[in-house]
Chain A
């Protein structure tokens, strides 16, 4: 039995290495994709185009505009009327429009309430609102308010507030989810497509061995990919710290991969071809990732979704990995994440295993 098991694992690995299309997709997902997600996500304003209409004749208004400089803003562009400015915003030439009305400087000098009108293109919502808070800060400095409170900030776990840390890690975990659903499904569906399914069924090997060997072979590929990403991208490019035990991360990944493989087996059992597999994988994966807190923090979800998120194994995986990488939680204290992944994992894998086993 061991010989048959190892033969199947070896055959699947060989098969994978020779399907260069698949190899390229997997390598891309584990390297470039994680890199892009980590470095490409820009929430801070950069190169924001500013236009203004100044009815005051200059002075304070120019002093304020002087604060809008590179790299956050491109040099403000002057418009002669509010109508022109609105048009420019409509045509996407300008993202932030500032209007200083005639009374602005007068009121400011008289210490009356001076008003600046700001027009925001809110299509890129987060960018425009962060830009707004920049503007407010600048204006605040002018108002010289006397509030006897000072904020002293201590940033924990990520002292530079490096967005890339979180984005890159979460993308890696999503890639692991996607591939550990897709790859095990593909090894079975490919047999269906190429007509070797019958031959596989007729092998004098216990179906359980076949299913286990096939899923294990794909998990080996995923583990190799994870090691590559962590080494090249997370540590090599983004300098993400590793504060906890590395083996705990690998172990958690291994269990998690089996969890998603269970979903993959289920998909393989109900789909006839590659196209169907890809579609079903997307359909199942999206809510899984959405509920995990990868895109929206769990505490910000609707109460019902928040409860549902307990059912997403990815949630425990992400929280567990964050704890390992950033918080440096000790192995013993990770038990809840392991428990979450293991409990959901055994249910899902058992179900997928049974479902595909019925086809044998």
Chain B
């Protein structure tokens, strides 16, 4: 019998909304189980059920003790460690690192003897926080906060550790360190670790993966086993002929055999093949040519020594970035690296503390300089904030009216975008009822309804599933090709750098790298992907 057994667990929320449906799996001591899938596919629900913090149906057996409700789970909570989603949510900004560990130890009723102290030192050492025991949590970087949260969850030596997206938005180096801590803990203590993640690259570090889609588990196995299941369906890029085929950026997936050569499959492929098997139609995305050719200067945006300070904290430190005509520029970095601050300065949402900014050949000195440019800029904010009391169509009409577009033209454009971006079926739905992927494309439609010449997107891909993310990049490339516009996009998914023309890497408010994608690969011949390239920059900086 396995140490942890989860039998047909179903979580229902208010209004019979399904969190997770009939999920079952087993885990043995020392296993690392990975939950992989997009937001809203049930990873967190299952994790909460196991942690005994939500009501669920089904049965969970932990070390021969079966529980069916949060009340019954109370007995085993002392053997559990749980780290909820979000950066440093369990931390208190005004407590120091040392105080945190002592605090979590005392609420767990641990005896603070010699053994405890030794274990505490060991954890601090593993997390690389030994030097920072006196520092307040509020002054730690995102990665350090996450490591501190982790060792706080480990202080009582739990037998079961539940980590909900511990690595999201954390820089690649800290992520690597987090994994090292987990690996040594499970080897030494035999802890079962359950981790959910949005980064496919981390899958290889887990013993067993559970792939989540549509609030259920669609596949399970080790990373290698899973990848092998789609080996037969993965081909070099070839045009599709039949229905059961998907042609992507540089890969083609097909259920029927194709003549072209097979390609090394990836975990992402699993989601595409699963979509093919379920006959889920991916909406064709297209963008039609603009009527009038655009008059765009060769340099769309130029930032010279841009600096932004919040009190004594320097969010952006003398940043130089150029955005050229017809270019997709990716701004990469961990949470808190200054990506959003930079975009907000470009847009005038934050005043510029020092430095020069030129937008569309117009030096920006006052709000009045910007007023004229507003109709040429499109902006998609984080979390796709749109008016939630208005339907998709009403939202789009509103934005068009604000941009003084004639009504007949507005209606034509809405129809066209809905068709091309694949949200026709949702035109009269409210934003909250939309799947995140649709919401994302509709937000972009709202941002381009006035046909801007430059588009700024702030983290448009976080929390969106693999397929929707792929389609977003496809849409951006089409916009670039057909309209000739420039796009500046921020993201913390390092792997998405492949889709950009040029990549800028920010770290702690400073620019640490800026080059074209080809040059990055030339400079780092040993790196297989951008994850590894960026990791080198982080290692250098330390």
Interface residues of A (CB under 8 A from B): 3-4, 7-8, 11, 14-15, 18-19, 194-196, 198-199, 201-206, 360
Residues of B within 8 A of A194 (CB): 385, 387-388
Q: Is B401 an interface residue (CB 8 A)?
A: yes
A7 CA / B403 CA spacing, docked (Å): 10
- Within the complex, the shortest CB–CB distance from A195 to chain B, in Å, comes to 3
Interface 9-mer from B261-269, B358-366, B374-382: B374-382
Mind listing 29 A-B residue pairs with CB under 8 Å?
Answer: A3-B401, A3-B404, A14-B389, A14-B390, A14-B394, A15-B389, A15-B390, A18-B389, A194-B387, A195-B381, A195-B382, A195-B383, A196-B385, A196-B386, A198-B344, A198-B347, A198-B381, A199-B385, A202-B377, A202-B379, A203-B374, A203-B402, A203-B403, A204-B375, A204-B402, A204-B403, A204-B404, A206-B371, A360-B367
Q: Which residue of B lies closest to A8 (CB)?
A: B402
Q: Is B398 an interface residue (CB 8 A)?
A: yes
Interface residues of B (CB under 8 A from A): 344, 347-349, 367, 371, 374-375, 377, 379, 381-383, 385-390, 394, 398, 401-404, 450
Residues of B within 8 A of A3 (CB): 401, 404
Q: Are B374 and A204 within 8 A (Cβ)? A: yes
Residues of A within 8 A of B385 (CB): 194-196, 198-199
- Within the complex, the shortest CB–CB distance from B349 to chain A, in Å, comes to 5
Q: A198-B385, A199-B385, A202-B347 are in contact. Are A4 and B401 (CB under 8 A)?
A: yes
- Within the complex, the shortest CB–CB distance from A349 to chain B, in Å, comes to 22
Residues of B within 8 A of A14 (CB): 389-390, 394
Q: Are B404 and A4 within 8 A (Cβ)? A: yes
A18 CA / B375 CA spacing, docked (Å): 29
Residues of B within 8 A of A201 (CB): 348-349
Residues of A within 8 A of B377 (CB): 202
A7 CA / B405 CA spacing, docked (Å): 12
- Within the complex, the shortest CB–CB distance from B194 to chain A, in Å, comes to 31
Query: What is the number of contacts between chain A and chain B, taking CB atoms within 8 Å?
Result: 62
Residues of A within 8 A of B450 (CB): 204
Q: Are A11 and B398 within 8 A (Cβ)? A: yes
Given contacts A18-B389, A198-B379, A202-B349, 9 further A-B contacts (CB under 8 A): A4-B404, A7-B398, A8-B402, A14-B394, A194-B388, A196-B385, A202-B379, A204-B371, A205-B402
Q: Are A199 and B389 within 8 A (Cβ)? A: no
Q: Are A7 and B402 within 8 A (Cβ)? A: yes
Residues of A within 8 A of B383 (CB): 195
A164 CA / B33 CA spacing, docked (Å): 70
A70 CA / B309 CA spacing, docked (Å): 75
- Within the complex, the shortest CB–CB distance from B115 to chain A, in Å, comes to 46
Residues of B within 8 A of A360 (CB): 367
- Within the complex, the shortest CB–CB distance from B532 to chain A, in Å, comes to 34
Q: Which residue of B lies closest to A206 (CB)?
A: B371
A14 CA / B379 CA spacing, docked (Å): 24
Q: Which residue of B lies closest to A14 (CB)?
A: B390
3 pairs of A and B residues whose beta carbons are closest in the complex: A195-B385, A7-B401, A204-B374
A240 CA / B229 CA spacing, docked (Å): 81
A290 CA / B219 CA spacing, docked (Å): 67
Residues of A within 8 A of B371 (CB): 204, 206
Q: Are A4 and B402 within 8 A (Cβ)? A: yes
Q: Which residue of B lies closest to A205 (CB)?
A: B402
Give the one of B379, B385, B403 with max A CB within 10 A.
B385
Q: Which residue of A lies closest to B430 (CB)?
A: A18
Q: Are A19 and B401 within 8 A (Cβ)? A: no
Residues of B within 8 A of A206 (CB): 371
- Within the complex, the shortest CB–CB distance from B459 to chain A, in Å, comes to 12
Q: Which residue of A lies closest to B372 (CB)?
A: A204
Residues of B within 8 A of A199 (CB): 379, 381, 385-386
